[in-house]
Every structure is written in structure tokens, then in C-alpha cells.
Structure 1
Amino acid sequence: MSTTRVLPLLLSCLLGAQASAATVGGHDFPDRISVPGVGTNLRLSGAAVFDRNYVPFYAAALYLPVSVRSSEQLLSGMSPYRMTLVWQIPALDAGRVDEYWRKAFTDAAGADRLPRIRSQVERFIDIFDDARHGQTVLFDYIPDAGMRIYIDDKPAGQLAGVEFNKALTSIWLGESAPRDFRTALLAGVAAQ
């Protein structure tokens, strides 16, 4: 990931107590949002562009309640959040989308955890078809309800299970995620 894309956003997030609205990858992300089942208290923590082979793959923004004060708290699966993902690639067929998610889950979950969540990973992958530039995917995690997924504002699926959702969150925020990307998404948590 290009440091030049992440540093301006990271600096602006660190300078204020709250992250302000951001434009990343040509997409505007508001500073606050309302999520059904959570309410209007989700604030922008950070946003970044995920590059794959030095090509912008997707822009992402992480929204958290003010009560989340650490990445560990978020990765525990006990805090709600929204991850907004906007595809940056011109187009990606369903087979390549499946390939991306399979590798991402394998890297994030590791060999020990992956067999325990394999059926949920397969259900997750079945939700996605072709990806196109500008397509928006919302991942709304509510601990009691699980992960609700919306594609272009239409409900696409829901998956319960803390262990599955911890693996999904780790794709973006775990040790296998690119450090600059993870740091930019968590900038609002670091600034508290």
C-alpha cells in the first residue's frame, strides 16, 4: 500500500479527538453513521485503500462506537462495527472474488481456526458474485445478531458466530492485514 495515500488521512485522524469525514479512493465516507440495531453512535475510525499487487483493490472505512478503545476489544467479537468496502478494480469475475475471500480467510484465520468455521466461510463466499468498480459492500457486525452483509444497499446475507466474525474482522485488522492499511483503519482508536 502506498504510504502517500494513508498518511494524510492518518494525520488528520490523529490530530482530532474524532475522525472527521474522509475521501479515500475517490469515495466520501461520512464522519458518523446510523446502523440498524446499533443506532447513530458509530463514528469513522479511519479509511484506507487496500492495494493488491500495487493496484487499488478496494477502499474501506471502519465505523465504531465511542466505547471501542482498542483493537483487541474490536477483535474480541464483542463490539459492534461497520466496515464499508467500495471496490476499486474495474471488474472482477465471481471466481476471482471467491479466490480473494478464500485466501483472505486462510491468512486471517490460520490453519487451526479455519476448519472450525469452514461452513460459514463457504456461506459467506456464496453471497458474492462478480465485483465491479464502485460497488459498495457493507459489513454490519452486531454481537447478538452476527454479521449482516449488504451489497449496494440490498440485504445479501447474515452470518452468526463470534469465531467466524473474529476471523472476518482479522482480514482487515489482524496480523495478516497490511500494517499501513490496518493502522489507517484504527486511527480513531489510536487517537483516543
Structure 2
Amino acid sequence: MSAALAFEQVRCDRGGRPLFEHLSFALAPGDAASVIGPNGIGKSSLVRVAAGLLRPAAGTVITTGDRALLTEAHALDTELPLAAALDFWARIDHRRDAVGAALAAFELTALAAVPVRLLSTGQRKRAGLARIAASGAATWLLDEPANGLDAAAVGLLETAIARHRAAGGIALVATHQPLALPHAQQIDLAAACA
């Protein structure tokens, strides 16, 4: 898996004021970073900059390999059964064979035929994570991935991230909740704003 993500002196503005500036870090295959800081400081904006959805006001973002983004919106068609909703994205990614393993990784196999709209909050979050896992993307950009998850599901998330990293993937995780991300860089946006 070929992956790289680097910020070089990146500044992100919102509403005419800088959220963070002079932010530099580099992630190589197998690396992870945990983005921390209080509400409104720019964690989600940092993830969107990494995804290419938001332009930095200054600096450079360097990426290698495909990226998959998880936000609060799970990006699954709520009217489709879960497996079909995941298959939609898997076809785009040319990874239809990955859906079964992604369902299993997040203990969703028994819910494959259930329409997404009938899933609980935690099940929908796990479904969004399964979409990311099935994508085959080298870099996972996860914005508050543990929101709505119980302790067992957080364990599934941590295991999935560890497997992804072991295969040479990268994980950039913006979170308020502590996650076990061994040897991960910590990006404290409160310090980047000071």
C-alpha cells in the first residue's frame, strides 16, 4: 500500500480568522495521528483539508494514495439494505469483494439485509466505518469515529485501524474520545493556535 500524508506550514482560516497556522506533520505507511483539541478549534477542518475538500489558506498538503473520509454523515443510502448501500461504494472503488469482510470487521453481517434507515446510531456509525474499510484507500481520514459507539464497537474500530496500519495504511483521527492508537503522533490544535 502506497501512502503518505504531510502538512507543511499549513494555515486554515474560517470566517476570516485562522483556526490553526504553521502546522507541519508527516505520516508514512503504518503511521497514525490523533488530532485533539476543544470544540471549534478546527479538528474537522484539518481533516477536510487533508481530504482535499478545504483549501489551506497557506502552506502545502502532500498526499500519496487514495483517501477515504468518514464524517458525521455516513454517506450511505438510507433506503437501501446495508449490504447494497456498501456495495454501491465498493463498485466505485472496484472493491466489491471487500464488502463481506468489512461487514464482519464491524460485526454487521447479521444486519446486511436491514435498510440503513432502520439501523441504530451506533450501527450506522459502524456501517460508515465499514464503508471506509471496504474502500481499500491507503489513508483513512476519520472525524470523530468513536461518536455513538459503545465500548465493544470502539474496540472493533481500534482493531480495524491497527490492521489498516499493519498493512501499510495511514490513519488521521480527529477525536475527543481516547482511542488506543499505539505510537501515533498527537496533533494538539490548541498548541497550533497559541
Q: Which has the higher contact order (CA 8 A, sep 6+)?
A: 2
TM (normalized to structure 2)?
A: 0.33
TM (normalized to structure 1)?
A: 0.33
Which protein shows a greater Rg? Answer: 2
